[in-house]
Structure 1
Amino acid sequence: MRIKTKEEYDKAYKESVEDPEGFWAGVAQEFVWKKPWKKVLEWDFNDYDVKWFKGGKLNITESCLDRHAATKPNQPAIIWEPNDDSEEAITLTYSVLLDRVSRFANVLKKNGIVKGDRVCIYMPMIPELAIAVLACARLGAIHSVVFGGFSARAIADRINDSACKVVITTDGAVRGNKHIPMKETVDDALVSCTSVEKVIVATRTRTPVSMIKGRDVWWEEEVKHVSGDCPAEEMDAEDPLFILYTSGSTGKPKGVVHTCGGYMVYATYTFQNVFQYDPGDVYFCTADIGWITGHSYIVYGPLAAGAISVMFEGVPTYPDAGRFWDIIDKHKVNIFYTAPTAIRSLMGFGPEYYKDKDLSSLKVLGSVGEPINEEAWHWYNDEIGKGKCPIVDTWWQTETGGIMISPLANITKTIPSFATLPLPGIQPVLVDDQGNEITGNGVNGNLCIKFPWPSIIRTTWGDHQRCKDTYFSAYKGMYFTGDGCQRDENGYYKITGRVDDVINVSGHRIGTAEVENALNMHTGVVESAVVGFPHDIKGQGIYAYIICEEMPSDPEMTKKDILMTVSRIIGPIAKPDQIQFVTGLPKTRSGKIMRRILRKVAEKDVSNLGDISTLLDPGVVDEIIKGAGL
C-alpha cells in the first residue's frame, strides 16, 4: 500500500488510471472484510450514481480497532492533550480504546439506537468525541458531528435535516480562556427538534446544566451499566457511515454523505502515502473533528493505519503562542498537520515562542484547508522544519473524503504554494467556462475530476438531486470542485481559489447565501451581499454590503448588533470582518448581483471594474467605492 519512491508513484499512478478496479481491489485487500465484494466499481457521472466494493461487508471499526488491539494492544491509539497545559494528558491504547468504544456503543443500544439511526454529536475535542464517533460506526448508526462553535439554530437545522434520534454532548467546553455552554446550546436547539428522544451528556467542565427526566442521561452513569463486549454490526460497503454538513449556495447546509467501504480504503491509503507514515510515528493533526479533516485524519485514517494520533482540545495561542511547539516537544511528534491560518497567526508572534522548544523529532509538515501562501510556506519550512522536513500542501474537500492532490513526503519535489501532483486514482482535468478540456501545461482553468475515487461523495442527505445539481451538472460527466486551478510547465497543480459563491475562511467553506440569510434576519436589514476578500491571517475574510430600511444613526453599534445576529444564527466563524452600509447593490436588469464588482471594492482594487453599463443603476458603483473610502 505504501509508495516509497518517485518511480513507485509513477507506476502506481499509471496502474490506477489504466486499471482502477484492479488497483483499488489490491489496496482494499489490506483491510478487514466480513464478506468479499462482488464488483469493485459501478458508476455513472451523468445520472450521478457511484458504488465501490459492491456487495462487500465490513465494519470500519474492526479495521480501526480490533485488529490492532489483537496485535499491539498496548500501543497508544490516541494521545489527548487538554486545553490547559496544567492538566494531565491522557493516552488511550488500542485495547483501551476498543473497550471504551464497545461500552459506549452498548450505551447507545441501551438508549434505543439501531443500525441506520442518525446520531448528532456536538462536543469539544475530548477523547469522548472520538469514542462517540467510533461507537456509532460500530453499531451502524450514522453520525453527524456538528462543530462545537456552531449556534443552537445551526445545530437544529442539522438535526432536523437528518432526523437525529440521539444527541451526544457535554455539560460545557473550554477553548483557550473561553467557557462554552454546550448543553445549554443543545437545549436551545432542541426546542425546535421533534426527532430527538435522548441526550447523552458527558462531564467536562462541571457546569450546572438542566437535565430533563426521561430524555437526558449522564455518559458516566450509563457506561456503568453495560459490558465491554459489543460485536461490530455487519455493514454493506455502500451503507452510509456519516453525514457532514457543509455550507450550501442556497443558504441551507447540505449533508455530505460518505459510505463505509470506499471511505475507509481511501482515507487510510492517503494517510499512509501523503505523510509517509512509519509504524511508531507520533502524528499530530490540529483540526477539529467537527470538520472533515478531523474525521479522515484524526480518527479513521490514522486508526485504520494503526497510527499514534494526537488530539488537542485547545487553541494554538493558549496559554501562549508556543502551545503547538510545546506539544511537539512533549510528545516527540514526528508528523505535524495544521492550517495556513494557524501558521500565519503564529508567524506574527516571533521566534521567542519556538526557539527554545525541541522540534528535532519532526520529519514531515503538512498544510490543509486552503492553499498555503509562499511567505507562510517559507517560514514553516525554515523556522519549524529547519529546512529538513518536506511540506505536504494538501488539496481536498469535504466532498472528496480524502486528500486528492498533494506531494508525497520525501518523494514529490515540492514548490511553495503548489499542491503538486494528483494521488493515484485521481484524474484531474482543467476546463474552460464552456466545459471544454484545456490540455497541455502552463494553463489555467476550472478544476474537475473525470473518474470516481473510492471516497467520493455519494449523495447529499435526503436530496440526491441537490448532489447532482451542485457537483455534476456544471460540466457533463465530471465532478466540479468549485476551484480554479493552474497547471504549470511541469504538470504541477496550484489551486487559485473558489470560482463559486463560497468563501474559504480559515480553511472552512462558508456559503455566501447562508451568511446573507443570517444578515437579512436582523431587524432593519433589507438586503445584503457578501464576498470574500484577502485576509492576512484567515486567508479570506467576509466583506458584507448591507442595505438597511434607513441609514443607521450609530453605525458601529448597528454593526455589533448585526454580528451578534450572525453569531446566533450560524456561529462566530461566519461573522463578517467588514460591514459597509450601502443604499443599493450593483445589479443587472434581471436582478442578479454583480459580485465581481463587490469583490473588487473589498479587495481595494477598482482600477478595472469592466463594463458596468449593463447595470440597472451604474451610479450605485461610484457610491459604493466612495463609501469604502477608495
Structure 2
Amino acid sequence: MTEMTQASNLALHRQLLRQSLEDKQGFWYQAAGLLDWSRPADRVLDDSQAPFYRWFSGGELNTCYNAVDRHVLAGRGEQTAIAYVSPLAGKEYSISYRELLAEVRRLAGYMRSIGVTKGDRVIIYMPMVPETAFAMLACARIGAVHSVVFGGFAASELATRIEDAKPKLVLSASCGIEPAGVVPYKPLLDAALDLSRHKVPHCLILGRSQYQAELVPGRDQDWQQALAGAGDAECVALAATDPLYILYTSGTTGQPKGVVRDNGGHAVALAWSMSNIYDIGAGEVFWAASDVGWVVGHSYIVYGPLLVGATTLMYEGKPVGTPDPGAFWRTIEKYRVKSFFTAPTAIRAIKREDPQGLYAAGHDLACLGAVFLAGERCDPDTLSWATQTLDKPVIDHWWQTETGWPVAANLMGVAPVAIKPGSPALPVPGYRVEVLNEQGEAVGANVPGNLVIKLPLPPGTLCTLWQNDRRYTDSYLSMYPGYYLTGDAGYLDEEGYLYVMSRIDDIINVAGHRLSTGRFEEVLCQHPDVAEAAVIGVEDKLKGQVPLGLVVLKSGVQTRDEILYQELIALVRQQIGPVASFRLVSAVQKLPKTRSGKILRGTMRKIADNQDYTPPATLEDPLSLALVRAALTRLGYADALVRASAEQLP
C-alpha cells in the first residue's frame, strides 16, 4: 500500500466513523436500506428510555425472510446457501437457497404445530450440522426466541440455561463428533431436563448414525418423522425491537448472563459489516471456522453471510488432526473461499504442527482475499507467520459476545488501511471507543487504560440481559456512567489505532508497576521455539505479584529446558525491562482453553494461588489443567507448601 493510498483510506475510515457518531440517524437509516422492511422505522434511534437504547423503533421486518426468502424471490434460489464440510462425519454437500427455504419452512411449520409462537423460547443444543442453522432460521421465521447452547455442554450448565430461558421446545441431536470420538448429546440433555425445575414439554431429536438415542415417549420426537408430516409456515412481521435470540455467556456469579439481541439492529449491523468489513457480497463464499454455539457462529456462520446472499461454509472439524494441518487450506481452495475467519489459536495450532508452512504451499489460494482473526488477542508473531505463509492480508479485529459484531477492524470492503501488528486497526463506525483511567479520566495517546464505548452502543449490540435489566446496568454501565465497560485494557495510538492488551483482570501489579500479560506473551512468542504462550500474575511476598509464563513449543523442537528458560527470561528482560521481574517460566504440552480457543488464565491463576475453582463447561481438554498444575508446582506454586519470593529463585 502506498503512502498516498494509506492516507486516503485512513481519512475515509475516520470520515465514516465521524459521520456515524455525529449523524447516527442518517448513517444507520442509509444502512437499513440493505434490508427489506414490511414497515419502515418511525425513529432510527430511540433514546427515550436511556440507557436502554432501541434502534429502528416502529419498524417491522423478518430476519429469516431477509436471509432466505428474498434471495429465492430475486431469482437466486439455485445458488449455494450452505456448503457443509465434515471431515469428522465423512460428509460433504451443498444446500441451495431454494432447498434451505423448504427446510426452514417445514421446521417452522412443525414448531407452529406444537404451539410455539412469537416470543416463546426455543433451546438449540446441537452439533455443527446444517439442521442447526435451519433451527435458528425457523425460530426467526415465526418470532420464537432461540438460545443456542454449545453442543456437549455439561448437563448442569445446560440445566441453568433451560431454567433461565424456560423454553417450550428443545432441539437437539443424538450426538456430536469430536476428533477424540463421539460425544453423546442425548444423555446429557436427559440429565439436564431432570435437573431443571422448568419442565420442557417438547424435544425434537436429530438422529445421527454414530450414536443411537433413546426417545422419551410423550416428550421426544424423531426429527425426520416429525417433519415428514409437518406443513409449511410463512414469515411473520416482527418489530425491529423484538428479541431475535438469547446467547448465554459465563457470569462471575455462576449464573450465566443471557445476552439479548434484537431483530432490526442486528440485521442492519451484520449486513453492513459483511460488505464493509469482510468485503463479501451476494454469491461470494465466506467461511467462519467457528461453532454455531459461539457468537461468531451466530453472526458469521448463519446470519451475516445469508443476509447478503453469500454462500456460508459450515465446517465440522478442527484446524489440525482432521487429518493434518492442511485441512483449512484444502477447504479454502476447493470451495473458492474469498474471506476466511478463524481464531488466532487455530493459526497457532497449525503453526505448531507445520512451522514451515509446507501444507499451505501445496494449495492454490488465489481465491482468498483476506484472513480475519478474532476471539482473543493476536500476538504479532502469529500475525507475521500467517501473513508470510499465506501471502495474504491477515486482519486482526476485536469484538465480544455482547457487541455481536466488530468494535475495531480494518474496513477491507471500503477503506483498507495499513496493518499494524498487535492492533485490530481503528474503531468501526458506530463505536466511540475511549480509554479511561480508574478515576474515569480520558488518557492521552499511547497511554494504557480501561477500554470503554460511549453510549449509545450502535445497532446489533446487546439490548440488555434476559429478564435482568439490573444486572445489565451493574455489569456493564455502572463503573463509568455514560459508557459501556468492555472489560479490556489497552490504548489508542496517535493515528487512532486501537491496541487491546489484555482483560482488565489480567493486568499485573509488580511492585506498583502495572504490566499487561499480553505484552509478556507477545515477547515470549518471538522466541523461535515457542508456538504459543500464556502469562498470569501470581502472588509474591516481596512484590505483591510477579509474572509467570507457560509456553508450548513447536512440534519437533528439541532443546534443554534450562537453556530455553534462560533465553526466555533474557528476552523479556531485554524488551520489557528488569522491572518485569520475570523469572518464572515452564514449558507445557498444552494450555487449558475453551472450545472457542480462549486461554483460561483466570483458572490458572486460581490453581497457582491454591484457590478453589470449577473447570468451565467449555473446557476443551481436562488433561491440560493437570499439566498446568504440574508445571506450576515445579515453579513453587499450586500445591507447593512454601513459596519463596521470586527474587530468591535461581
TM-score tier by shorter-chain length is 0.7 to 0.9
Corresponding residue number in structure 1 for 2:351: 347
Corresponding residue number in structure 1 for 2:297: 294
After TM superposition, the structure 1 = structure 2 runs for residues 69-80 of structure 1, keeping only pairs within 5 Å, are 69-71=72-74, 72-80=76-84
Partner-residue secondary structure (3-state), 2:487: strand
Give, in whole Å, the separation in 2 of the partners of 1:393 and 1:44. Answer: 36
Corresponding residue number in structure 2 for 1:413: 418
Corresponding residue number in structure 1 for 2:471: 466
- Aligned residue identity for 2:199: S
Corresponding residue number in structure 1 for 2:205: 201
Asked whether 1:424 is paired with 2:429, we answer: yes
Give, in whole Å, the separation in 1 of the partners of 2:488 and 2:342. Answer: 21
Do the aligned partners of residues 576 and 474 (structure 1) sit closer, same or farther apart at CA in structure 2, a change above 3 Å counting? farther
Aligned-pair distance for 1:382? 0.8
Partner-residue secondary structure (3-state), 1:348: helix
Do the aligned partners of residues 364 and 118 (structure 1) sit closer, same or farther apart at CA in structure 2, a change above 3 Å counting? same
Asked whether 1:479 is paired with 2:484, we answer: yes
Do the aligned partners of residues 605 and 397 (structure 1) sit closer, same or farther apart at CA in structure 2, a change above 3 Å counting? farther
Asked whether 1:434 is paired with 2:454, we answer: no
Aligned-pair distance for 1:345? 0.7
CA displacement, residues 521-562 of structure 1 (integer Å, 9 cap, x when unaligned): xxxxxxxxxx997665656343154699xx9xxxxxxx9xx9
Give, in whole Å, the separation in 2 of the partners of 1:575 and 1:481. Answer: 31
Aligned-pair distance for 1:288? 0.4
Corresponding residue number in structure 2 for 1:316: 319
Instruction: Confirm or deny: 8 A CA contact 1:544 1:578 kept in the other structure.
Output: no
After TM superposition, the structure 1 = structure 2 runs for residues 39-50 of structure 1, keeping only pairs within 5 Å, are 39-43=43-47, 48-50=51-53
Asked whether 1:361 is paired with 2:381, we answer: no
Corresponding residue number in structure 1 for 2:116: 113
Give, in whole Å, the separation in 2 of the partners of 1:102 and 1:447. Answer: 43
Corresponding residue number in structure 2 for 1:184: 187
CA displacement, residues 600-628 of structure 1 (integer Å, 9 cap, x when unaligned): x899799xxxxxxxxxxxxx9963768x9
Do the aligned partners of residues 578 and 501 (structure 1) sit closer, same or farther apart at CA in structure 2, a change above 3 Å counting? farther
Do the aligned partners of residues 262 and 604 (structure 1) sit closer, same or farther apart at CA in structure 2, a change above 3 Å counting? farther
Give, in whole Å, the separation in 2 of the partners of 1:245 and 1:218. Answer: 27
Corresponding residue number in structure 1 for 2:378: 372
Aligned-pair distance for 1:401? 1.3
Corresponding residue number in structure 1 for 2:599: 540
Instruction: Confirm or deny: 8 A CA contact 1:343 1:380 kept in the other structure.
Output: yes
Query: Could you tell which deviates more after superposition, 277-286 or 303-312?
Result: 277-286
Corresponding residue number in structure 2 for 1:593: none
CA displacement, residues 217-270 of structure 1 (integer Å, 9 cap, x when unaligned): 01111111123x321121111111100011112121111111111011112211
Asked whether 1:488 is paired with 2:493, we answer: yes
Corresponding residue number in structure 2 for 1:611: none
Give, in whole Å, the separation in 1 of the partners of 2:507 and 2:37. Answer: 38
Corresponding residue number in structure 2 for 1:64: 67
- Aligned residue identity for 1:295: H
Corresponding residue number in structure 2 for 1:223: 227
- Aligned residue identity for 1:166: L
Instruction: Confirm or deny: 8 A CA contact 2:152 2:188 kept in the other structure.
Output: no
- Aligned residue identity for 1:235: L
Give, in whole Å, the separation in 1 of the partners of 2:141 and 2:304. Answer: 16
Aligned-pair distance for 1:83? 2.9
- Aligned residue identity for 2:599: Q
Aligned-pair distance for 1:6? 4.8
Asked whether 1:337 is paired with 2:341, we answer: yes
Instruction: Confirm or deny: 8 A CA contact 1:329 1:357 kept in the other structure.
Output: yes
Give, in whole Å, the separation in 1 of the partners of 2:645 and 2:148. Answer: 42
Partner-residue secondary structure (3-state), 2:409: coil
Do the aligned partners of residues 241 and 621 (structure 1) sit closer, same or farther apart at CA in structure 2, a change above 3 Å counting? farther
TM-score, scaled relative to structure 1: 0.81
Aligned-pair distance for 1:357? 2.0
- Aligned residue identity for 2:471: R
Corresponding residue number in structure 1 for 2:139: 136
Query: Could you tell which deviates more after superposition, 238-247 or 451-460?
Result: 451-460
Do the aligned partners of residues 191 and 533 (structure 1) sit closer, same or farther apart at CA in structure 2, a change above 3 Å counting? farther
Give, in whole Å, the separation in 1 of the partners of 2:287 and 2:331. Answer: 9
- Aligned residue identity for 2:372: G
Aligned-pair distance for 1:177? 4.1
Give, in whole Å, the separation in 1 of the partners of 2:32 and 2:448. Answer: 35
| Count of residue correspondences | 551
Do the aligned partners of residues 286 and 171 (structure 1) sit closer, same or farther apart at CA in structure 2, a change above 3 Å counting? same
Instruction: Confirm or deny: 8 A CA contact 1:83 1:176 kept in the other structure.
Output: no
Instruction: Confirm or deny: 8 A CA contact 2:636 2:643 kept in the other structure.
Output: no
- Aligned residue identity for 1:444: P
Aligned-pair distance for 1:476? 0.9
Instruction: Confirm or deny: 8 A CA contact 2:112 2:233 kept in the other structure.
Output: no
Partner-residue secondary structure (3-state), 2:164: helix
- Aligned residue identity for 1:543: M
Aligned-pair distance for 1:205? 2.9
Aligned-pair distance for 1:204? 2.0
Instruction: Confirm or deny: 8 A CA contact 1:176 1:319 kept in the other structure.
Output: no
Do the aligned partners of residues 437 and 113 (structure 1) sit closer, same or farther apart at CA in structure 2, a change above 3 Å counting? same
Do the aligned partners of residues 434 and 281 (structure 1) sit closer, same or farther apart at CA in structure 2, a change above 3 Å counting? same
Of 146, 151, 156, which aligns to 1:148? Answer: 151
Do the aligned partners of residues 502 and 331 (structure 1) sit closer, same or farther apart at CA in structure 2, a change above 3 Å counting? farther
Corresponding residue number in structure 2 for 1:284: 287
Corresponding residue number in structure 1 for 2:587: none
Give, in whole Å, the separation in 2 of the partners of 1:602 and 1:539. Answer: 23
Of 242, 250, 254, which aligns to 1:251? Answer: 254
Corresponding residue number in structure 2 for 1:391: 394
Give, in whole Å, the separation in 1 of the partners of 2:633 and 2:30. Answer: 50
Asked whether 1:11 is paired with 2:21, we answer: no
- Aligned residue identity for 1:391: V
Aligned-pair distance for 1:358? 2.0
| RMSD across aligned positions (CA) | 3.2
Q: Answer 1 or 2: higher relative contact order, Cα 8 Å, separation at least 6.
A: 1
Aligned-pair distance for 1:175? 1.9
Corresponding residue number in structure 1 for 2:447: 443
Partner-residue secondary structure (3-state), 1:217: strand
Give, in whole Å, the separation in 1 of the partners of 2:132 and 2:240. Answer: 24
Aligned-pair distance for 1:12? 2.2
Percentage of pairs with the same residue: 35
Instruction: Confirm or deny: 8 A CA contact 1:17 1:427 kept in the other structure.
Output: yes
Corresponding residue number in structure 1 for 2:24: 20
Partner-residue secondary structure (3-state), 1:89: strand
Corresponding residue number in structure 2 for 1:556: none
- Aligned residue identity for 1:430: V
Give, in whole Å, the separation in 1 of the partners of 2:398 and 2:298. Answer: 16
Partner-residue secondary structure (3-state), 2:53: strand
Instruction: Confirm or deny: 8 A CA contact 2:207 2:213 kept in the other structure.
Output: no
- Aligned residue identity for 2:208: R
Instruction: Confirm or deny: 8 A CA contact 1:279 1:306 kept in the other structure.
Output: yes
Give, in whole Å, the separation in 1 of the partners of 2:358 and 2:209. Answer: 32
TM-score, scaled relative to structure 2: 0.79
Instruction: Confirm or deny: 8 A CA contact 2:34 2:271 kept in the other structure.
Output: no
Do the aligned partners of residues 209 and 43 (structure 1) sit closer, same or farther apart at CA in structure 2, a change above 3 Å counting? same
Asked whether 1:263 is paired with 2:266, we answer: yes
Of 191, 205, 216, which aligns to 1:212? Answer: 216
Query: Could you tell which deviates more after superposition, 23-32 or 8-17?
Result: 8-17
Instruction: Confirm or deny: 8 A CA contact 2:121 2:166 kept in the other structure.
Output: yes
Corresponding residue number in structure 2 for 1:38: 42
After TM superposition, the structure 1 = structure 2 runs for residues 532-571 of structure 1, keeping only pairs within 5 Å, are 536=552, 540-541=599-600, 542-543=603-604, 545=606, 566=615
Give, in whole Å, the separation in 2 of the partners of 1:603 and 1:38. Answer: 64
Corresponding residue number in structure 2 for 1:614: none
Of 577, 589, 596, which aligns to 2:625? Answer: 577
Gaps of 5+ in 1: 507-530, 552-558, 583-600, 607-619
